[in-house]
Every structure is written in structure tokens, then in C-alpha cells.
Amino acid sequence: MFNRMMGRTRYIVCRLFLHLQGDEVAPILGVLNSAARTAINADGDMDILGEELVQLCQTFLQYDEYWFSAANEGDVFWNEGEAGDYVNELFTDSAQRYGANLDLNSTSSNQPLSLPVTRNIIVMIIVGSEGEIPELETDLANISALKAAFKALINLHYKHKLRAIQVHFSPAQLGDELSSDQLLEYYPELIPL
């Protein structure tokens, strides 16, 4: 309330990394690809992007037994333009990580029937929001904190507090694999859960 009285808005921008590992993680790629297609078609509509984020968070909470490692980073801003610049900086970094570029033009109809099934998936979620979000402004390298963070993201959507949403993931499509060596090389910030 004090911030509002002073006429200043607090913005938080954060990036959350989640590494899922196991023989059964491949269906999550389907959910991620579906969300990506919807997001591209949404053309920046925050309600649609938020609904897709809710769907992803619920999926991650459902598959919590496959959570292997995580990390997070972020900052607080009093200027919307600076917050937006930081979102763009994190977006560019995420997009340049190994295997995080989605090719929606590839058709699965000409893929071989026996695709290698990935055992590793990395998801990078960037959000920008107004206000204070203690569940995101903390170390998320433990399971209970991560669960609270995903629930907070869901609530932020329903409270219409999200100002930016970006999701990257690797591998970007079924049949691609992400090896343990690639994880170490391209995602060094990950901390085992």
C-alpha cells in the first residue's frame, strides 16, 4: 500500500528453470509444444498466454516426481521500461540455449516411427509481474519452494498481475535428445532437488 501511495509501481521479473528427468517425461513435450502453438497464435494476448502458463504449471505439479534440478534468477524494478528490457535480455539468453528453438514448420508425418525418447527436458519460464511475490523472490532449488512458485504463477494469472510471459524448452520437439553433457554445458545454473 505504501508503494501505491507514493505513486510507484514495483515490477518483478524472474526466470525459473526446471529440469525434468525420467523415462516418462516425453508427454510433457507434447503439452509444451501445444502451449507454444497456442501462444504463437495468441499474438501477445495476455489472457491466452496466462491460460497456457496455468496449464503448464498444473502439468509440472502433476509430474513432480520427475523434477530433477532447478534454478531461478530475477530482479525488482521501479520502472516498467527497465523491467521490459530485462525480460528481453532473459528471453534472448533463453532462446540461445541449446535446443530451445521450436520449429513449428517441421511435420511429424515424415518422421520415422521409432523416435528416440528423451529422458531430459529443460523448461525456462520468464515472467514479469507487478507487486511483491515472495514465492518467486526466493531460492527455488527445493521441491516445496518450487511447488509454491508454480501455484503463485497460477494465482498471478487469475489476479491479472502478469505483464510478460515467455516459455522456452529443450528439446523443442519429440525425437530430439538432451544429453547429460549438454545439460551441464548449457544449463550450468541447475541445482539438484
Q: What is the 3-state secondary structure (H, E, C) of the chain?
A: CHHHHCCCCCEEEEEEEEEEECCCCHHHHHHHHHHHHHHHHHCCCHHHHHHHHHHHHHHHHHCHHHEEEEEEEEEEECCHHHHHHHHHHHHHHHHCCCCCCCCCCCCHHHCCCCCCCCCEEEEEEEEEEECCCCCCCCCCCCHHHHHHHHHHHHHHHHCCCEEEEEEEEECCCCCCCCCHHHHHHHCCCCEEC
Tally of domains within the chain:
1
Q: Residue 110 domain-assigned?
A: no
pLDDT at position 109 is 44
Domain range for 158: 2-100+117-192
Q: Does some domain include residue 155?
A: yes
Q: What is the pTM of this model?
A: 0.89
Q: Express each pLDDT in 54-83 by its tens digit.
A: 999 999 999 999 999 999 999 999 999 999
- Give domain status of residue 42, yes or no: yes
Residue 66, in any domain of the structure: yes
Q: Judge whether 106 lies within some domain.
A: no
* pLDDT, tens digit (0-9, with 9 covering 90-100), for 80-130: 999 999 999 999 999 888 776 655 554 444 444 455 677 899 999 999 999
In a domain, 109, yes or no: no
Q: For 5-27, how does the pLDDT look when each residue is reduced to its tens digit (9 = 90+)?
A: 566 899 999 999 999 999 888 88
What are 147-190's pLDDT values in tens digits?
Answer: 999 999 999 999 999 999 999 999 876 677 888 888 889 999 99
112 within domain boundaries: no
